[in-house]
Amino acid sequence: MRRLGIFTTLLALASLPLGARAQEAPVAPPAPPSAPVALDRVVVRWHAPETGGVRRPQFIFERELAFEARIEALADPDAEPGLYRDRHIRAALDRHVAETLLASLPISPAPTSAEVAQRAEAARISLEQRARGRARLLAAAAAEGVSSDELDAMLRRQARASLYLDRMVAPMLEPSDFELKIALRSGATPFKDQRYEDVAPALKRWYVGQRLAQALDAYYQNARARVSLSIVSAR
């Protein structure tokens, strides 16, 4: 309806004589330049040998860190709905740095683009599971203005990090049915008292996600001493 109204107004102006147009619709003086509006800003600057050292600093922007903190809060069973706390920001920061470190390391054999894309899609499904639903994940992205391209870049980073852990540290992306059944029988999964056949795909995603998170944390604890990180204050 609004587009139709604008179009009608333009037609009405076009039908007026030139003099009438000048009288009825005078050209407004140019507006004074407005103050610049900050769309985003760097909040963390860091470097490590794995990423090229001090000559290749890494930057984390406010929107992406806030989005990642929202995911941590959504995955936290004790968090208040819609809020993220300092612990979620810290967890998001640690995960971001750890994933970037791992994604920067060479993998042998090098993954193909198809393998990275496949792992990125698996990372998307796992992220939706952590956020407790696709709608919540998209709402978190929308709340921080994170575009689909930015989300895809995050998923590719996670894909490369997971491939490094799987190929260079220990296999963890394809657990056996035996491993999954043991995990289910332990009662420590979200699928307690459910039949394995009914929950196998979701159980596998959860199990792989848990193993990757543990491996990420272990790697980062060892790498932390090599990481130089500083918080960038707002000007």
From CA 229, how far away is CA 210, in angstroms rounded? 26
Q: What is the pLDDT of residue 12?
A: 39
> Rounded mean pLDDT of the chain?
86
Q: What is the pLDDT of residue 232?
A: 92
Q: Tell me, letter by letter, the H, E, C secondary structure of 117-153.
A: HHHHHHHHHHHHHHCCCHHHHHHHHHHCCCCHHHHHH
pLDDT at 13 exceeding the cut of 70: no
pLDDT band at 80 (very low <50, low <70, confident <90, very high): confident
Per-domain residue ranges of the chain: 42-231
Under 8 Å between Cβ of 75 and 21: no
* Nearest partner of 215 among 102, 63, 119, 58, judged by Cα: 102
Under 8 Å between Cβ of 196 and 180: yes
pLDDT at 90 exceeding the cut of 80: yes
What does the pLDDT look like over 149-167, one tens digit per residue?
999 999 999 999 999 999 9
Q: How far is CA 148 from CA 16, 60, 100, 138, 201, in A?
A: 45, 18, 19, 9, 25
**In percent, how much of the chain has pLDDT > 70?**
83
Q: What's the predicted TM-score (pTM) here?
A: 0.80
DSSP secondary structure code for residue 230 in this structure: E
Under 8 Å between Cβ of 24 and 214: no
pLDDT at 6 exceeding the cut of 60: no
Report the DSSP pairing between strands 228-231 and 42-47.
antiparallel
What does the pLDDT look like over 107-121, one tens digit per residue?
999 999 999 999 999
pLDDT band at 223 (very low <50, low <70, confident <90, very high): very high
Sheet arrangement for strand 42-47 = 58-61, 42-47, 228-231
